[in-house]
Structure 1
């Protein structure tokens, strides 16, 4: 990565749409997203938290689980990052794990109060925390995080895929959920210390084929297209929501992946 950073606030916008399978059966979208900004002090840039979740399609209350997971994530990750202000490095991994444990505890308490099985609310969770000093990433399951930092020889932004969490075992591609046994074993955390990061994209696995090439590298043309409407400070990102939702529901994307799709974008302006 690399490159000179630019100051300013972060603009965020997300959209979730039901996949082809769910449109055909009339099932609601089981993905969710949330974002929040936490103030750290007078005149300082805020902490930004981005979260996406993919509820397990086979579980009856996974939509509720995904919505609960992202809400708790923006709350706990944001509060810890804003209050502790740790430097880049090992301390970031500790903060991310601590916040995740808080999310899991509150998640399980909330679902147990419903009287249903915790597994009925199964969901993945992918979180990004952006502070003035570092970017932190935590994932459980198969979500994607791509950042833009630096430019190529033609001045086009360079996209970088952050490492994904491991599968449940080396012999299986089974997705891990917040309610999975020993979920802490499968948590992936990263700390990126790069002031040149000026855009972040999170997605659930329904957009894997669109966001990545067949070589499992970021698909720059797709990413540049979905970030474009966010780049102008004068434009309201909500204005292109209908157009973006139409793209995510398009036959072209549905043909390669019929799952629900969530895209959460953040750009520095």
Structure 2
């Protein structure tokens, strides 16, 4: 398993002489891996501390109780995720009160958006408070991406970022820091090259979109209603090849407006095929080094598209397609 993450202070924060207020953490357990990202609420005086507190608490809480087995069903995974999510929301609030109880401050000073995932392929359990977003990557069986269905009656996510010919778009927002090798022939997917086999196309699916603009304000880690409004859900995906968590500052880079695909606004944001699949490929080529990811988040394209902090954390299969 490759785990890579990076966090970059947004241009607006740097211009104001402030540091970043995001945080991320990943831990391996005997049953899988926990990934967590947090975005400190910028209007709060201790937002950065709140973000670090949130990811540390999330990793401890989700690693403390073993999840169901890989062969368990959806009811077991759903119940475990809901229980851990409610417990996490309560624990974040408790720690915030403990840290501010004897000081001039309120627990809300540590407010943060939090997104955490427990990865035990083919299962992924998500817990969310706030406005971070999540995506999964899949490698379909066969060059055409397969049927998009599974033997449990499930179906492939409807927002898969397929281009008309079933391949990733050659255009890349991340070039030149994450080159898509458009200036040289890539034979990895060709069946007519001796010694080569067809490599399944990797596709991106947005499983947790950011909140819709104009909707009700999200609940954060210190919100009184956090235990009631925490979102939990599970994904079973036998062709899972990656899990990506990101703070909302990454949305202008990683997501497309539906009009790009000729869809109405009601369709909501869609994952860009020019961002996450090429980035995942670059991270695998680098053996898991986070440098390509850090370069993208620090690059010109990011500065032009968002002034917010940018944090992205992902877990990917190895180059041979196995989780390890």
Structure 2 length normalisation: TM-score? 0.70
| 1:229 alignment partner in structure 2 | 282
2:78 is the counterpart of 1:93 = yes
Q: Is the CA contact 2:133–2:210 (under 8 Å) kept in the aligned structure 1?
A: no
Structure 1 residues 165, 256: CA separation in 2 closer, same or farther (over 3 Å shift)? Answer: closer
CA distance in 2: counterparts of 1:132 and 1:11, whole angstroms? 13
Structure 1 length normalisation: TM-score? 0.83
CA distance in 1: counterparts of 2:107 and 2:236, whole angstroms? 36
Structure 1 residues 98, 131: CA separation in 2 closer, same or farther (over 3 Å shift)? Answer: same
Aligned partner (choices 42, 55, 66) of residue 81 of structure 1: 66
Q: Deviation digits for residues 219-253 of structure 1, max 9, x if unmatched?
A: 11111222123224xx4423x42x43232133322
Q: Deviation digits for residues 165-221 of structure 1, max 9, x if unmatched?
A: 767xx9635232111221233222221111210111111000111111111111111
Aligned partner (choices 303, 314, 318) of residue 254 of structure 1: 303
How far did residue 92 of structure 1 move? Answer: 1.9
CA distance in 1: counterparts of 2:233 and 2:306, whole angstroms? 28
What is the correspondence of 1:1-269 to structure 2 with a 5 Å cutoff? 10-39=1-30, 46-82=31-67, 85=69, 87-115=72-100, 116-151=105-140, 152=145, 153-154=166-167, 155-164=200-209, 172-215=215-258, 216-232=269-285, 235-238=286-289, 240-241=290-291, 243-269=292-318
CA distance in 1: counterparts of 2:79 and 2:284, whole angstroms? 33
Structure 1 residues 250, 133: CA separation in 2 closer, same or farther (over 3 Å shift)? Answer: closer
Q: Is the CA contact 1:51–1:73 (under 8 Å) kept in the aligned structure 2?
A: yes
Q: Is the CA contact 1:203–1:262 (under 8 Å) kept in the aligned structure 2?
A: yes
Q: Is the CA contact 2:62–2:84 (under 8 Å) kept in the aligned structure 1?
A: yes
Structure 1 residues 88, 33: CA separation in 2 closer, same or farther (over 3 Å shift)? Answer: farther
Q: Is the CA contact 1:124–1:141 (under 8 Å) kept in the aligned structure 2?
A: yes
How far did residue 106 of structure 1 move? Answer: 2.9
CA distance in 1: counterparts of 2:44 and 2:220, whole angstroms? 11
Q: How many residues align?
A: 247
> Secondary structure at the residue paired with 1:124?
strand
How far did residue 257 of structure 1 move? Answer: 1.6
CA distance in 1: counterparts of 2:73 and 2:12, whole angstroms? 42
Q: Is the CA contact 2:243–2:314 (under 8 Å) kept in the aligned structure 1?
A: yes
Bigger share in helix: 1
Deviates more, 1:192-201 or 1:154-163: 154-163
